[in-house]
């Protein structure tokens, strides 16, 4: 039996990185690597990184530092950095951590096999091009092996919006949509492997425009795949929320009633400075329209506090907007200046102020999340079971609103969608009982 080389991949950042890590593992699979769950006996360690906030990027250097011992024990160990830090910092990574053998950006990882073969024994391999060719045309074909019931599928990548705080247009490049026929093939393959729910990914997923199709058009086509029971998409930009997508929420049973629609701030002055290109009111009117089409929709958002120039009054407008919308779930961050972005040049809000604002904002969002969960108690929901829980006989799945739901049920229900009556709400999950 030939010994497969062992690959340890650690993924940071957004769901697109999760998808990319799968594809990179498949790519290196073709070079004889098999994934392992620990770095200790790996032949190659690959960090798939995120550059969105300073902390995320700095974490990579401390993580790399921890691999020094492993590299000393095994000089043949190859260490690679992929993802958005790789794209943003390139050669600088090797300068700061000379034990790194390979650096590959998010648009060039189809060349990973070749880079891996070249790197090692002091030879460094670096590729942070935005190549002419489409990486998806050159990736290893996807395996046929059975897999879990949920999957991500990148349909659109990159961003042309240039929000003043954000590195993504620089790390992921210009907006590109994949063609519907290729996506339908990939989705069909995933369903044949046991996938029941697909989350379509894009930095601006609702700007999707593959072969003239809109995201709603693509969802309509995917919905015809037998065996695919649920479709989600993320992340949407308010300015790309077209009417056909809103209608799809009313008309397509397979499209789940959940929408991540970041607004970042409730102050028009700050929204303008952020280059978001819409006002707080326009966002509120959009939310009304979406809720009119799909009253049961659960809304999620992203918020940044302490953007340069944000006053107490601006912050209060964000709090007002949150009260007006009522989010079921949300992510919130202190503004983090990113090198090369316009906002980084502005004068910054003091950290203590950011800390205080973030705490108040998160209190409000947490109370809204609790209320949304509490409102589920007594309701019947549908749950796609994904895995067993820690307790005896416990299964965990997600409701249509993406709430984690725990029930006691036979393990044979993994991969199936069942009706559940919600009986209780905990901090970050619901409990319920199977109906029928």
* Residues near ligand F3S (CB under 6 A): 13-14, 16-17, 50-52, 83-84, 167-168, 171-172
Long-range contacts, stretch 57-63, CB < 8 angstroms, 24+ apart: 57/85, 57/88, 57/89, 59/12, 60/12, 60/85, 60/93, 61/96, 61/97, 63/10
Residue nearest to ligand F3S (CB): 13
End-to-end CA distance of the chain: 49
Q: Is 237 in the site for ligand SF4 (CB under 6 A)?
A: yes
Q: Which does 77 bind (CB under 5 to 8 A by kind): ligand SF4, ligand SAH, ligand F3S, none?
A: none
Dist CA 52 CA 32 (whole Å): 32
Give the nearer residue to ligand SF4 in terms of CB position, either 29 or 169. Answer: 169
Q: Which does 333 bind (CB under 5 to 8 A by kind): ligand F3S, ligand SAH, ligand SF4, none?
A: ligand SAH
Q: Which does 80 bind (CB under 5 to 8 A by kind): ligand SAH, ligand SF4, ligand F3S, none?
A: none
Q: Is 42 in the site for ligand SF4 (CB under 6 A)?
A: no
Give the nearer residue to ligand SF4 in terms of CB position, either 173 or 415. Answer: 173
Q: Is 161 in the site for ligand SF4 (CB under 6 A)?
A: yes
What is each CA distance from 62 to 57, 98, 333, in whole angstroms?
A: 10, 13, 22
Q: Which does 131 bind (CB under 5 to 8 A by kind): ligand F3S, ligand SF4, ligand SAH, none?
A: none
Choose, by CB under 6 A, the member of 57, 159, 231, 422 that binds ligand SF4: 159
Q: Is 87 in the site for ligand SF4 (CB under 6 A)?
A: no
Q: Which does 83 bind (CB under 5 to 8 A by kind): ligand SF4, ligand F3S, ligand SAH, none?
A: ligand F3S
Tell me the window of 161-169, 180-188, 318-326, 372-380 that interacts with ligand SF4 (CB under 6 A). 161-169
Q: Is 156 in the site for ligand SF4 (CB under 6 A)?
A: no
What is each CA distance from 319 to 208, 315, 357, 362, in whole angstroms?
A: 31, 6, 10, 10
Dist CA 417 CA 296 (whole Å): 19
Q: Is 168 in the site for ligand SF4 (CB under 6 A)?
A: yes
Angle 294-297-303 from CA coordinates, rounded to 5°: 130
Give the nearer residue to ligand SF4 in terms of CB position, either 171 or 409. Answer: 171
Q: Is 169 in the site for ligand SF4 (CB under 6 A)?
A: yes
Query: Residues interacting with ligand SAH, by CB under 6 A?
Result: 52-53, 165-166, 168, 203-204, 235, 237, 262, 264, 302, 304, 333, 335-336, 338
Q: Under the rule (CB under 6 A), what is the footprint of ligand SF4?
A: 159, 161-163, 166, 168-169, 203-204, 237
């Amino acid at each position: 039996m030939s010994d497969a080389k062992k690959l340890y991949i650690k993924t940071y950042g957004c769901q697109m990185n999760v998808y990319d890590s799968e594809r990179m593992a498949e790519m290196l699979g073709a070079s004889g690597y098999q994934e392992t769950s620990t770095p200790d006996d790996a032949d190659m360690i690959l960090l798939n990184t995120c550059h969105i906030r300073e902390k995320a990027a700095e974490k990579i250097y401390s993580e790399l530092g921890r691999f020094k011992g492993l590299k000393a024990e095994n000089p043949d160990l190859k260490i690679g950095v992929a993802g958005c830090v790789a794209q943003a910092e390139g050669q600088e990574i090797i300068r700061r951590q000379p034990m790194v053998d390979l650096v590959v950006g998010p648009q060039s990882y189809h060349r990973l096999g070749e880079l891996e073969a070249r790197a090692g024994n002091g030879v460094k391999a670096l590729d942070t091009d935005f190549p002419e060719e489409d990486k998806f045309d050159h990736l290893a074909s996807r395996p046929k092996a059975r897999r879990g019931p949920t999957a991500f599928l990148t349909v659109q990548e990159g961003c042309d919006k240039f929000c003043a705080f954000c590195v993504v247009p620089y790390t992921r490049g210009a907006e590109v949509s994949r063609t519907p026929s290729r996506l339908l093939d990939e989705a069909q393959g995933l369903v044949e492997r046991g996938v029941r729910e697909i989350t379509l990914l894009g930095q601006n997923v609702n700007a999707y425009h593959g072969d003239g199709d809109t995201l709603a058009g693509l969802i309509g086509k995917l919905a015809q795949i037998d065996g695919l029971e649920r479709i989600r998409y993320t992340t949407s930009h308010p300015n790309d929320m077209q009417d056909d997508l809103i209608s799809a929420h009313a008309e397509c049973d397979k499209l789940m009633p959940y929408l991540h629609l970041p607004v970042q701030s409730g102050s028009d002055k700050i929204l303008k400075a952020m280059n978001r290109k819409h006002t707080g009111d326009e966002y509120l009117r959009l939310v009304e329209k979406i809720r009119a089409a799909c009253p049961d929709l659960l809304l999620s958002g992203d918020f940044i506090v302490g953007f340069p120039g944000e006053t107490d009054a601006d912050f209060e407008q964000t709090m007002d907007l949150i009260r007006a919308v009522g989010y079921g779930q949300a992510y919130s961050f202190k503004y983090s200046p990113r090198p090369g972005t316009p906002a980084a040049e502005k004068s910054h809000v003091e950290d203590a102020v950011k800390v205080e604002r973030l705490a108040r904002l998160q209190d409000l969002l947490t109370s809204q999340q609790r209320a949304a969960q509490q409102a589920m108690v007594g309701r019947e929901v549908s749950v796609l079971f994904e895995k067993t829980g820690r307790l005896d006989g416990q299964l965990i799945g997600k409701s249509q609103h993406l709430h984690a739901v725990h029930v006691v049920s036979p393990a044979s229900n993994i991969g199936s969608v069942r009706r559940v009556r919600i009986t209780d709400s905990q901090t970050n999950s619901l409990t319920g009982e199977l109906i029928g």
